[in-house]
Structure 1
Amino acid sequence: MMSNLFSIFDPSTNLFNLPINWIKTMLGLLFLPYSFWLIPNRHYIMWNFILNKLHNEFKTLLKNNYFNGSTFIFISLFSFILFNNFLGLFPYIFTKTSHLTLSLSLSLPLWLSFMIYGWINSYQHMFSHMIPQGTPSILMPFMVMIETISNIIRPGTLSVRLTANMFAGHLLMTLLSNTGNNMNFFMIFLLIFIQILLLILESAVAVIQSYVIAILSTLYSSEVN
């Protein structure tokens, strides 16, 4: 029972003996030609509006660290996670963001690059983040320990947050769908209605989680002076 239930999250599943689950991660490249259209369609106009809003928000969060093109990495991160979250809502498509393999490989290099850059270029500024202003002298060693631990677990919290949210929603939908064989005609319609509501909720979670990851990554980079 458990192996069948969790097999939908198994990246080793394949189609026609072709391991194409992870290849679908790069399908977002197919949307690039939209930017070269002579007359943009409504999809491109809406997507361009969202990216401009994100650019202005990331620009505000970066403050003194902003320079031309610095928001592109976070907009790309948002777009990549959003596309894979939505792709996982379709039937028979493997959800890449429900695995730590993908989410940790995104958050860990970002966090590590911020830390290396910060400690090499402005170690005094990084040390000042360890002790909040106004901390009593007797509490300073404990604050340094707490801030160090909270800083180290940042990539783990980013990846686990994304993985857990995507995994939990898909698992709940799978559990409910497996009960449909034992239901009568009326309960089937109720189950379909509940599944539609869960699908709407998962669509909102897909947007929110990609936005949260991008915002937190921007905030972490803004702390590096």
Structure 2
Amino acid sequence: MTNLFSSFDPMSSVFNLSLNWLSALLGLSFLPYLYWAMQTRWSLLWANTTIAIHKEFKVLLGPTDSGASILFVSLFSFIVFNNFLGLLPYVFTSSSHLTMTLALALPLWLSFMTYGIIVHTQHMLAHLVPSGTPGALMPFMVLIETVSIMIRPWTLAVRLAANMIAGHLLLTLLGNTGTSLSFTLLSVLILAQILLLILEAAVAVIQSYVFAVLSTLYASEVN
């Protein structure tokens, strides 16, 4: 018996090797092509995109940026590759699992918090109470700010995974109804699937950008 989530189940393996998770590394195969092949319109578009994102991340990090913006551009590129590869037929969507998204968000958050607590202890504590807060509300603000900081990696991970799962499930649900439709309705279904696929491509980019930007903002608060 299978269910709607069976396509997200990383169970296929050969010789006890989980081949599904290897799809997370397929994006790296695109990188050598950028160095030895002639530049195309797609490669120029990607180069201009990464340059623009790098400039924006440098602005977010401020004057304390010491190369960390390159890390977040790489994070954006890695998530974009995984999201787009998941749109291809029979390719496992690794970014739809908390195993992958939490493995990206939690170490980043832990490193930010550890660095901030050790190096900028007073600055981190001052963030718990916004300026202008009445004295009676300070304990509640500290509690609320602490909870909001603690759930940051989970919100990052769940946001990315949930958005990828939702779009794929909608495509699967609509696709499974195609065998029982007439020719006219099938044409409408194919058009709807194409439009949804375009929407999913946009979601793949937007969610990667949101993940990278929020990680950059969390890092900028530590400095």
Runs of 4+ in 1 over 4 A off after TM superposition: 14-18
Q: Structure 2 CA distance, aligned partners of 1:66 and 1:54?
A: 14
- Secondary structure of 2:3's match? helix
Could you tell me how far apart the structure 1 residues matched to 2:111 and 2:74 are? 17
TM-superposed CA distance for 1:194, in Å, is: 0.7
- Cα deviation for residue 24 of structure 1 reads 1.6
Corresponding residue for 1:211? 209
In structure 1, the residue matched to 2:133 is: 135
- Structure 2 equivalent of residue 45 of structure 1: 44
Cα distance in 1 for residues equivalent to 2:173 and 2:37: 47
Q: What's the TM-score, normalizing by structure 1?
A: 0.94
Query: Which residue of structure 2 lines up, in the alignment, with residue 80 of structure 1?
Result: 78
> Residues 197, 17 of structure 1: CA spacing in aligned structure 2 closer, same or farther, 3 A cutoff?
farther
Q: Is the 8 A contact 1:34 1:40 kept in 2?
A: no
Contact 1:130 1:147 in 2 (8 A): yes
State whether residues 11 and 21 of structure 1, in contact with CA within 8 Å, keep that contact through their aligned partners in structure 2: yes
- Residue 181 (structure 2) aligned to one of 158, 180, 183: 183
Q: Is the Cα contact below 8 Å between 1:78 and 1:213 reproduced in 2? A: yes
User: How many residues are aligned here?
Assistant: 223
Write the deviation string for residues 39-71 of structure 1: whole angstroms up to 9, x where unpaired: 42322221110111011000000013212x221
Structure 2: any 5+ residue segments left out of the alignment? none
The one-character-per-residue Cα deviations of 1:155-182 (angstroms, maximum 9, x if unpaired) are 0000000000000010011011111121
| Alpha-carbon shift at residue 6 of structure 1 (Å) | 1.5
Equivalent residue number for residue 145 of structure 1: 143
SS at 2:188 equivalent = helix
For residues 40 and 15 of structure 1, do their structure 2 counterparts lie closer, same or farther at Cα, with a shift above 3 Å needed? Answer: same
TM-score, normalisation: structure 2: 0.95
1:194 alignment counterpart: 192
2-structure distance, mates of 1:156, 1:220: 13
Question: Is the alpha carbon distance of 1:15 and 1:46 closer, same or farther for their aligned partners in structure 2, counting shifts above 3 Å?
Answer: farther
SS of 1:22's partner is helix
% same residue = 61
C-alpha displacement of 1:38: 7.0
1:57 maps to 2:56: yes
Q: Higher mean Cα deviation, 14-23 or 114-123?
A: 14-23
Distance (whole Å) between structure 1 residues aligned to residue 37 and residue 16 of structure 2: 41
Residues 13-32 of structure 1 correspond to what in structure 2 (within 5 A)?
Answer: 13-14=12-13, 19-32=18-31
Deviates more, 1:18-27 or 1:186-195: 18-27
Amino acid at match of 2:61: L
Extract unaligned runs of 5+ from structure 1.
Answer: none
Distance in structure 1 (CA, Å) of the matches to 2:37 and 2:56: 28
